[in-house]
Amino acid sequence: MIISGAIICDAAGERPGDIRIEEGVITEIGNNLSGGEIVSAQGCYLLPGLVDTDVRLKDAQLNRTNLEKLSRYALEGGVTTLVLASDCAPRIDNEITLEFVQQHRHLSGGSTIESTVSALMDSGALSNIAIMLKKGSLAVHTSTLDDYNLISRIAQYLKMADKPLFYKAEDKSLFESGVMADGSVAGYLGLPGISEMSEVVHVASMIEIARHFGIRIVFKSVTEPRSIAMIAAARNEGVRVEAEVAIHHLLKNDAACMGFDTDAKINPPLLGERKRLALIEALRRGDIHALSALHQPNSDVHKDITFYDAAFGTTAIAEYLPLAYSYLVDTGIIGMDRLMELTSCAPARQVGIEAGEIAIGRKIDVIVFDPSQTTEVPHHHSLYKNETLKGKVTMAVCRGEVTRF
């Protein structure tokens, strides 16, 4: 198969050209290629498939139906590889649960599903990290830990396996007492706020853990500009830390919660406009290293209730690329090549998989994105409900399988 006439774009930049695909591998890149089936992509981008390493299932329930739906939705949004967060039910902390996920790793018409392993079991004891990493988990995942003996043991496993720690910095005593970011909007709505210290103090402490043990830590869904500044400073000193930011915190602020809109209740919470603009500047500077759709969907029963009682989370993965293109690329904040670095190359490097580059000899995980079309966001408990986004994913080639939308 030949995909012709596209603007090929990866982190290396944009260039016009055709690609030839044979048995799931790119065998030729050039102009005016001929022979075999030709798919015209004139006026479209040909992009490496996105990689999202912070994905959750509907209502956090791990079952076949949710995996199948997630796999299809992700591919529709341009994501060819997704990595499940381990904090689902049942928790991904043992070989049986991991094997269940891996049985659904390559679903027809969907993206590739990978998994993290929870650092802790439900009992609070350390999970069998070494075995789970050998069995195929790509990273160890946890939220804030206060037991530094446990943290030290986890760090030793990570160093032996040379795997990253996916760390969600949040102080549970502060986070669980609030429902949105502390600030003027929370005060206006009369809702308890979550202090910025919930994140910042734990980012600071875990940077020192990374420095001491020499391990890699990817801070997941960072929101505070102070956290990003600390991570950037530590990286300049050679500490192996990275900041991932959810796309929502770049695109929306806490005013989205006005009217007690539960679709804007996400974890971590949306921040005020001043901090959102600071995140945009951090993105421009290069202090944000990866993005995520932070897909965490919920059923009506968990969202069509009061803001205080509603579950955290929004659905976004089916519109991930159009969202990023509309708000970040089309507005001139970053270029498409930089977007590919943030959404494909960097996340792939974090988990040690091959993705993010369109080159001869590479396995084919690519998407065709038409910027002249639009994507409608239906009302399905999305922060972007009823919006019309610029651009549409029209085709995906994942593991050599062609899916058209």
Say which residue the tokens 């951090």 belong to.
282
24 - beta bridge partners? none
Region of 9 please: left (phi>0), alpha (psi -120 to 50) or beta.
Answer: beta
DSSP single-letter state for residue 59: G
> What's the pLDDT score for residue 199?
95
pLDDT tens, the chain, 405 aa long: 999 999 999 999 999 999 999 998 999 999 999 988 999 999 999 999 999 999 999 999 999 999 999 999 999 999 999 999 999 999 999 999 999 999 999 999 999 999 999 999 988 899 999 999 999 999 999 998 888 899 999 999 999 999 999 999 998 777 777 999 999 999 999 999 999 999 999 999 999 999 999 999 999 999 999 999 999 999 999 999 999 999 999 999 999 999 999 999 999 999 999 999 999 999 999 999 999 999 999 999 999 999 999 999 999 999 999 999 999 999 999 999 999 999 999 999 999 998 999 999 998 899 999 999 999 998 788 999 999 999 999 999 999 899 999
Instruction: Enter the tokens of residue 66.
Output: 């949710």
- The CA angle 400-71-142, to the nearest 5 degrees, is 115
Residue 302 is assigned to a structural domain of this protein: yes
Q: Any residues with CB less than 8 A from the CB of 164 and at least 6 apart, and which?
A: 139, 140, 158, 215, 216, 217, 218, 350, 351
Residue 193 is assigned to a structural domain of this protein: yes
Are 267 and 194 in contact by the 8 Å Cβ rule? The answer is no
Domain that holds residue 317: 48-360
Residue 206 is assigned to a structural domain of this protein: yes
Residue 12 is assigned to a structural domain of this protein: no
Instruction: DSSP for 275-318, please give it.
Output: HHHHHHHHHHHT---EEE-------HHHHSS-TTTSPS----GG
Residue 99 is assigned to a structural domain of this protein: yes
E strand or H helix at 374? strand 365-376
Are 399 and 106 in contact by the 8 Å Cβ rule? The answer is yes
28 - beta bridge partners? 20
User: How many independent structural domains does the chain possess?
Assistant: 1
Instruction: DSSP for 214-282, please give it.
Output: ---EEETT---HHHHHHHHHHHHTT--EEEEEETHHHH--GGGGTTT-GGG--SSPP--HHHHHHHHHH
> What's the pLDDT score for residue 210?
97
Residue 178 is assigned to a structural domain of this protein: yes
**What does DSSP say about strands 45-48 and 365-376: parallel, antiparallel, or unpaired?**
antiparallel
> What's the pLDDT score for residue 111?
97
Residue 257 is assigned to a structural domain of this protein: yes
* Nearest alpha carbon to residue 116 among 68, 182, 63, 56: 56
> What's the pLDDT score for residue 246?
98
Instruction: DSSP for 154-222, please give it.
Output: HHHHHHHHT--EEEE---HHHHTT-SEESSHHHHHHT--EE-THHHHHHHHHHHHHHHHH---EEETT-
Instruction: Enter the tokens of residue 40.
Output: 């015209």
* CATH number of the domain bearing residue 308: 3.20.20.140
Residue 398 is assigned to a structural domain of this protein: no
**What does DSSP say about strands 388-398 and 401-404: parallel, antiparallel, or unpaired?**
antiparallel
| The total number of residues written for the chain in this structure | 405
